[in-house]
Amino acid sequence: METFSIILGIVAALLHGSGYLIYNIQTRLGKSEPRIITWLIWVFLTILNALSYNVMSGDFVATLQFFMGSVACIATFLYVIMIGKFKRPERNDWLMFGLAALAVAVWAIFRSATGANMIILLATAISFVPTLIGVWEDPFVETPLAWNLWTTAYIISTTNLLFRDCPAVAFIGPVAMIFAHGAIAVLSTESRKRRFSKN
């Protein structure tokens, strides 16, 4: 069972990394319009999340996806800056940045891995708001493939937690990310784009 669980952890990490690769391609082709402030927040939060989640769960295999995500997020941020495809920040983006920075500051004060991870999760959820609003208003700003891969990776990671001796709190982050990534995937489907075009 341990070998199977390790394989699941590796598969989730590889799927997660593949999602970033696909997203980079989508962005280069103009099929995704990343928001610079959102991705800047995600760069810092993915690193903090991987570190705090690893301490909180006490399980490196369960954290593989988060470590992959932090490295791939940094690479994507730098790549999108290099190709000049970031969308200009709007007022709401700066508000989200301020809220995320506040969450990180609270984490720095209390220094609890579990508390830190929950605060980082809250900040990450807040940082999804501009992207969710953007794709709700215009489904053409995103393409679902990368978001589907990320959602699938989180589903695998959540399933894998059932095989591992992790605390119940370890489920909160992956489950929340299933809904966050899945919502963007659903809001950017081709069927929704067709309905949007008719209106």
Spell out the domain ranges in the chain: 2-198
Distance CA 199, CA 181 (A): 25
pLDDT in single tens digits along all 199 residues of the chain: 678 888 898 999 999 999 999 999 999 999 998 988 889 888 888 888 888 888 878 888 888 999 999 999 999 999 999 999 887 777 767 776 776 677 677 767 776 777 777 877 887 888 888 889 999 999 999 999 999 999 999 999 999 888 888 788 889 989 999 999 999 999 999 999 998 887 6
Give this prediction's pTM.
0.86
In sequence order, which residues have a C-beta less than 8 Å from that of residue 20 and are 6 or more positions away?
69, 72, 73, 75, 76, 146
